[in-house]
Amino acid sequence: MITTNGYAAQKGEHTVSPFTFERDPPKGNEMLIQVLYCGICHSDLELLENNWGITKYPCVPGHEAAGRVTSIGPEVTKFAVGDIVGVGCMIDSCLQCQACKEGWENHCEGPNGPTMTYSGYLSPGDKEAAEYNTFGAWSDNLVVREEFVVKIPENMPLEEAAPLMCPGTDTFGPMRRFGDLSGKRIAILGLGGPGHMALQFAKAMGAEYVAVVSTHAAKRDAAFQLGADEFIVSTDADQMRSFAKSFHHILSTIPVPFDLAHYLALLRRRGTITVMGLLGPYKSILNNIDLAARGLSLTGSMIGSVAETKEVLDFCQKHSISPLVEVIDKKDINQALERLRVADVRFRFVIKIAE
């Protein structure tokens, strides 16, 4: 067994404290990865607070990991000891179902869906293993099968690579799904970890005009520095009205319940809004007339596939895109969580787990 030091919340706690546990050594095509950096995600708050009712305790968060392969199972073929790699939101899936076969492991239709990196089931489909609780990357190491590990390009700083595993991939996929962005006007709702990536992707993908819509007027300067063409304060009724029917596509990164109809008004006829990461109801009931009358499309999105994760790393390297990160020490995780609760981060906390 591999004794591992991490940080966990126990049931009823919203903070983490040091926690030591054992991991099974890598077998088959699994690898042991020493975690060097790991991001802090808004979903970590949701899970620590059990807001989705699915949290398993003890809960060791962390699904935006960058690290180094330190040992490999006998069947590993794509990686070697010493490789610098990333691990995102999943560490396994059934790899047998139609979704997995088509490269959508994040939509795995096996009995337990994909195995989430933390607070997840082990071995999809294995009934006994459904009781299992996976422990994430706010810890010294991870054990992951190679299909769910990606190589980090050389020269990419690891503290910047880590957030590409989640907010990078999560926003890249929906932006790609919008299709060719050249000549298109795009709005991004929210300017946090995912929003600031989505903004950079939209510009690099050739969008003609990209606006950030936020409740936080203080984020205006940052939005323009990151390449935005406009900044709209969502609580400013006049400004919202002046941008009515302006955008071909909207990507929402708002992680908490919000009023969807308020933003549909910004879409042009036959426009598309993708709501990423909101895993719960909207603030008010959506009247379908708001979609139907103007032929609007509403899509949802949650995490990304392994292929998308690889693609986002290459795309970021090619276009010199990187997340803006605030690297913190392990002892300051709880302080960072407090700041994240009030959206006080520019734009991603990344924990330095090891040198």
DSSP string covering 174-233: HHHHT---BT-EEEEE--SHHHHHHHHHHHHTTBSEEEEEES-GGGHHHHHHTT-SEEEE
For Zn ion, give the closer residue by CB, 169 or 234. Answer: 169
Site stretch for Zn ion (CB under 5 A), options 13-21, 89-97, 129-137, 292-300: 89-97
What are the DSSP E strand ranges found in 9-166?
17-23, 30-39, 65-72, 84-87, 90-92, 115-116, 141-145, 150-151
Residue number, 28 or 206, with CB nearest to Zn ion:
28
**CB distance 209 to 186 below 8 Å:** yes
Using CB under 5 A as the binding rule, the residues of this chain from 296 to 355 that contact Zn ion are none
Smaller CB distance to Zn ion: residue 142 or 166? 166
Total interface residues for Zn ion by CB under 5 A: 8
**Is residue 317 within 8 Å of residue 116, measured between CB atoms?**
no
Beta bridge partners, 85, equal 67, 151
CB of 113 to Zn ion, least distance (A): 8
Q: How far is the CB of 197 from Zn ion (least distance, A)?
A: 11
Question: Which pair of structure tokens corresponds to residue 46?
Answer: 């949701």
Q: Which is nearer to Zn ion, 121 or 247 (CB)?
A: 121
Cβ of residue 125: shortest distance to Zn ion, in angstroms? 9
Judged by CB under 5 A, does residue 108 bind Zn ion?
yes
**From the CB of 252, what's the least distance to Zn ion, in Å?**
16
Binding mask 32-71 for Zn ion (x = CB under 5 A): ---------x------------------------------
**Judged by CB under 5 A, which of 69, 137, 166, 260 binds Zn ion?**
166
Nearer to Zn ion, 91 or 100 (CB): 100
Closer to Zn ion by Cβ: residue 47 or 273: 47
**Can you tell me which of 76, 87, 100, 164 binds Zn ion, judged by CB under 5 A?**
100
Toward Zn ion, which CB reaches closer, 93 or 246? 93
Distance CA 71, CA 74 (A): 10
Report the distance separating Cα 269 and Cα 296, nearest Å. 6
Quote the least distance from Cβ 271 to Zn ion, whole Å: 27
Contact 301, 169 (CB under 8 A): no
Task: From residue 68, give the alpha-carbon distance in Å to each of 158, 202, 327.
Answer: 10, 31, 18
Report how far residue 146's alpha carbon sits from residue 260's, in angstroms, rounded to the nearest whole number.
Answer: 39
Closest distance to Zn ion from the beta carbon of 104 (Å): 8
Quote the CA–CA distance of 262 and 260 in Å, as a whole number. 5
When asked if residue 119 is in the footprint of Zn ion (CB under 5 A), the reply is no
For residues 57 and 170, give the distance between their C-alpha atoms in angstroms, rounded to a whole number.
26
Minimal CB distance residue for Zn ion:
41
The only residue of 93, 117, 139, 214 in contact with Zn ion, by rule CB under 5 A: 93
Amino acid found at 312: V
320 Rama class: left (phi>0) / alpha (psi -120 to 50) / beta: left
For residue 130, the 8-state DSSP code is G
SS3 at position 273? strand
At closest approach, how far in Å is the CB of 76 from Zn ion?
21
Closest approach, Cβ 110 to Zn ion, in A, equals: 4
Of 66-74, 95-103, 138-146, 180-188: span binding Zn ion (CB under 5 A): 95-103
| Cβ nearer to Zn ion, comparing 147 with 229 | 147
Closer to Zn ion by CB, 67 or 271: give it. Answer: 67
Please pick, from the candidates 62, 67, 110, 163, the single residue that binds Zn ion as defined by CB under 5 A.
110
- Contact residues toward Zn ion (CB under 5 A) are 41, 93-94, 97, 100, 108, 110, 166
